[in-house]
Structure 1
Amino acid sequence: MKAILICAALAAASLTGCAGLNADVHTANPSAALQGERTYTIARMPSQDASADHPQFETMLRDELAKNGFTDSAGKSAHYLLSIAYDTRPATIGVGATDCAPGACERSPEPPFSLFGGRAYQHALTLRFFEQSSGQEVYKVSAASSDRDADPLHAMPVLVKSALAKFPFDAPPDWRVKLRADQAGGVPAVVSVKPLQP
């Protein structure tokens, strides 16, 4: 029983961020070079047009893209079309077993209470760059992080900063970005960017 409680405490500590902020980043076409004029326009889905939060996401993203030499064409002709997708959902912590027969290892239901002060949430952001002329996707990057705050606006600075910590990310496709929170509540600073070992 003591060992189980220690393991549960360690799992909870990793979600609360006591080790600092971090996000996992995955890229498709990691060696693709974004060539040509660094102008873009954002393609919005109808749900994003209706969202009160989406303009704040776009503002954070525009600021980080500008640091990488990209300019929003403000609806005029642009070299790239940028698609933005994000979501926040409850995360679950499970225990995997490899020594049981198929169908015998059913997923256990979530506990009706939390031992360590709240549900965990998984936040994700995906950016896709398409060449406007050909419609071909030339670069895709996703960032994901976990914490105990259900508000996607709280997670967005970490996700945006992580997704654009290297631009573009080269091979390998999977990276861990560690960040340091800004004391004034602003955008976090990148501490390290390291490839994840397979």
Structure 2
Amino acid sequence: MWKRWGMATLAVASVLLAGCASTVTSQVTAFGTSPGFEGPRTYAFTRTPEQQNNQEHATYEQWLRTRLAGDGFSEQSPSSAHYLIGMSYGITQQVMRVTEPAYDPMFAPGPWGPWGRPWGWYGYPYGGPPAYVQRDYPYGLAGLQLRFTDRPTGKEVYRVQAETSDAGTSMASAMPFLIDAALKQLPFPSGRTVNVQQKVGQ
């Protein structure tokens, strides 16, 4: 259930430096042998032993159940559903180290002008260049994988995974974005990675 999800550090850095992001970008990759989802859109969830009687997992399942209903899927018993759907997900806590300028307080912005003192634009005599310090910013690398298995044959027909580093440092904050991204297009083209952007708060 716990998996390390790889992300592009450049994208992470841009989000951190921009402050609070107004959009969440997820990277979605899918593989499938049944591009049109032939057959009835009925499903049942499969669970690992650690997912059984797990309230966190039950919450994520409910979110996924609601989203699948919007795509025309209906839940049935495991003995009659056309598809069996398994979920796996995880988040790792990471730190992005960013080098930033740090000015001497003598020449910092203040009430007398850009450099805080009344004796000129560059302070006295000129105001030295800023020093640079390294600051650490925490972020989470979160991922979700959904596996659709044809129940009568036991064959996996579609697998999709969504990954993001933009949705906070907890699995609960990232999961709504991951579910929406993974099912934004059903199915996604097999073997390609697509960026899905979602607005925060909508």
Task: State if a TM-score over 0.5 links the two structures.
Answer: yes
Q: For the Cα contact (< 8 Å) 2:94–2:140, is it kept in 1? A: yes
Structure 2 vs 1, CA of residues 46 and 171 (structure 1 numbering), >3 Å: closer, same or farther?
closer
Per-residue deviation at 1:87? 0.5
Match 2:17 to one of 3, 13, 25 = 13
Which residue of structure 2 lines up, in the alignment, with residue 196 of structure 1?
A: none
More strand by share: 2
Per-residue deviation at 1:120? 1.2
What do the CA deviations read for 1:106-134 (whole angstroms, capped 9, x no partner)? xxxxxxxx825x41110100000000011
% identical aligned pairs: 29
Runs (5+) with no aligned partner, structure 1 = 1-7, 95-113, 183-187, 189-198
> Does 2:199 align with 1:180?
yes
CA distance in 2, matches of 1:51, 1:27: 27
Larger deviation, residues 134-143 vs 74-83:
74-83
Structure 2 vs 1, CA of residues 121 and 69 (structure 1 numbering), >3 Å: closer, same or farther?
same
Relative contact order (alpha carbons < 8 A, sep ≥ 6): 1 or 2 greater? 2
Secondary structure of 1:25's partner?
strand
What do the CA deviations read for 1:25-44 (whole angstroms, capped 9, x no partner)? 00012762211010000000
Q: Which amino acid aligns with 1:60?
A: W
Which residue of structure 2 lines up, in the alignment, with residue 68 of structure 1?
A: 71
Q: TM-score, normalised by structure 1?
A: 0.70
Q: For the Cα contact (< 8 Å) 1:22–1:145, is it kept in 2? A: yes
> Does 2:46 align with 1:43?
yes
Per-residue deviation at 1:66? 0.6
Match 1:29 to one of 27, 32, 36 = 32
Structure 2 vs 1, CA of residues 69 and 11 (structure 1 numbering), >3 Å: closer, same or farther?
closer
Which residue of structure 1 lines up, in the alignment, with residue 127 of structure 2?
A: none
What do the CA deviations read for 1:126-176 (whole angstroms, capped 9, x no partner)? 000000011111000000011473321111100000000001112562101
Match 2:188 to one of 141, 165, 169 = 169
Q: For the Cα contact (< 8 Å) 1:31–1:170, is it kept in 2? A: no
Give matches, 1:110-121, under 5 Å: 115=135, 118-121=137-140
Which residue of structure 2 lines up, in the alignment, with residue 155 of structure 1?
A: 174
Per-residue deviation at 1:54? 0.6
> Does 2:144 align with 1:141?
no
**Rg (Cα) greater in structure:** 2
Runs (5+) with no aligned partner, structure 2 = 1-11, 98-133
Per-residue deviation at 1:181? 1.8
